[in-house]
């Protein structure tokens, strides 16, 4: 999996950065903090995201405290952002919507 090139960053990464994702300081990685009504909502969303992650064999770094989940995405084997991160970020955003 290749690191995103300049053109891909403009077309694929930019829309995420306008949707509350941001570059992680000092790393070629993106992060976002998700807020939910309750722990139950947060953990159900984590479960749906975990199922995607396992299907893609691409897993997040994430931390949960009650109704908040902070996510960092990077393709460790590539040492930076790849299409896998774009795809997982998009899926995580979509998983907030109704079932």
Tell whether residue 22 is a contact of its own copies (CB under 8 A). Answer: no
Shortest reach from residue 6's CB to its own copies, in Å = 29
68 with 27: CB under 8 angstroms?
no
Tell whether residue 40 is a contact of its own copies (CB under 8 A). Answer: yes
Shortest reach from residue 11's CB to its own copies, in Å = 26
Tell whether residue 61 is a contact of its own copies (CB under 8 A). Answer: yes
Q: Which segments of the chain are extended strands (E)?
A: 22-23, 30-35, 61-65, 68-73
φ, ψ for residue 71 (rounded to 5)?
-115, 140
Tell whether residue 62 is a contact of its own copies (CB under 8 A). Answer: yes
Shortest reach from residue 14's CB to its own copies, in Å = 25
Among 64, 78, 80, 87, binds its own copies (CB under 8 A): 64
60 with 29: CB under 8 angstroms?
no
30 vs 39: CA distance, rounded Å: 23
Q: By the criterion CB under 8 A, which residues form the site for its own copies?
A: 36-37, 39-48, 50-55, 57, 59-66, 95-99
């Amino acid at each position: 999996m290749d690191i995103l090139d300049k053109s891909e960053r403009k077309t694929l990464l930019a829309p995420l950065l306008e949707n509350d994702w941001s570059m992680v300081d000092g790393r070629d990685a993106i992060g976002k903090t998700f807020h939910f009504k309750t722990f139950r909502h947060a953990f159900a969303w984590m479960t749906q995201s975990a199922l995607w992650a396992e299907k893609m064999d691409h897993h997040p770094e994430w931390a949960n405290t009650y109704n908040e989940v902070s996510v960092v995405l990077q393709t460790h084997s590539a040492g930076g952002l790849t299409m896998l991160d774009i795809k997982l970020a998009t899926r995580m955003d979509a998983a907030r919507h109704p079932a």
